[in-house]
Amino acid sequence: MQNAMVSVSTFVAMFLAVLAIVSSSLLVAHADTDFISRTCNKTNNTALCIAVLTAKPQSSHASTEHDLASIALKIATNTAKHNVKVISDLSKNNQSTPEAFAIAICLKAYTEATSALEIYADLYFERGFYSDTLTVVSFAMGASDTCKEAFKWIKKKSPMSYIDRQMTEHCSVASNLINLLVPK
């Protein structure tokens, strides 16, 4: 009987310890979401900023605007890299179609955007050259417009409208957050 009581009290103690850990984790996650919300409220598109950042778990560990801007820049870079892969695959499947030329233009634009983000934006950002970083992000965002125009020129519907919109949105969030770091 005494062993059963020890087991029950041990179980209750362990349960309370786990409950305390889970509760404190939820409070920290809530506090991190509050920080993201407060920071995103300073941008041009609060809802988009929150949606983009909260989709990435590492955002919950950010404690400064610089951290969030860095995460947003990585998201934009990863989006450009992903889009290069998607467009490259699309290019292979459309070699002798009327869309081939437009797809080639898109691939070139996104490849250049990826290189610019990976090389220059990261370098400028880490050195604190935020205005220069914004210029590179703006250039990279232009890949989506270049792609849209290529398809408009051949009078075809772009199969990449979704990834073009995503690129614009992710670069926009990065720009808005980096802009918070530019000395006024």
What is d(CA 67, CA 79) in angstroms, rounded to the nearest whole number?
18
Asked, for residue 11, whether it belongs to a domain, the answer is: yes
Q: Is residue 84 part of a domain?
A: yes
pLDDT in tens, the chain (184 residues): 555 444 545 444 444 433 344 333 333 343 368 999 999 999 999 999 999 999 998 898 999 999 999 999 999 999 999 999 999 999 988 887 878 999 999 999 999 999 999 999 999 999 999 999 999 999 999 999 999 999 999 998 899 999 999 999 999 999 999 999 998 8
Asked if residue 78 is part of any domain, the answer here is: yes
**Measured between alpha carbons, how far is residue 135 from residues 1, 132, 138, 170, 184 in Å?**
74, 5, 5, 15, 17
Domain, as residue range, for 27: 2-179
Residue 161: C-alpha distances to residues 29, 93, 152, 154 (Å)? 34, 18, 12, 15
Task: Report d(CA 90, CA 155) in Å as an integer.
Answer: 18
Please report the pLDDT score of residue 32 as a whole number: 63
Q: What is the pTM of this model?
A: 0.81
Burial of 151 (0-12, 13-18, 19+ CB in 10 A): buried
Distance between CA 151 and CA 70 in Å, rounded?
32
Residue 131 belongs to a domain: yes
Q: What is the CATH number of the domain that holds 165?
A: 1.20.140.40
184 occurs within a structural domain:
no
Residue 131: the pLDDT is 97
Please tell me whether residue 123 adopts helix, strand or coil conformation: helix
Question: pLDDT value at position 94?
Answer: 81
Residues 114, 84 contacting (CB under 8 angstroms): yes
- Kindly report the three-state secondary structure assignment for every residue of 25-77: HHHHHHHHHHHHHHHHCCCCCHHHHHHHHHCCHHHHHCCCHHHHHHHHHHHHH
Query: Do 65 and 181 form a contact (C-beta atoms < 8 A)?
Result: yes
In a domain, 96, yes or no: yes
pLDDT of residue 25: 38
Rounded CA separation 145/93 (Å): 23
Domain membership flag for residue 103: yes
The two structure tokens encoding residue 17: 């310890």
- Count of the separate structural domains present in the chain: 1
Q: Are 44 and 57 in contact (CB under 8 A)?
A: no
Task: Tell me whether residue 129 is in a domain.
Answer: yes
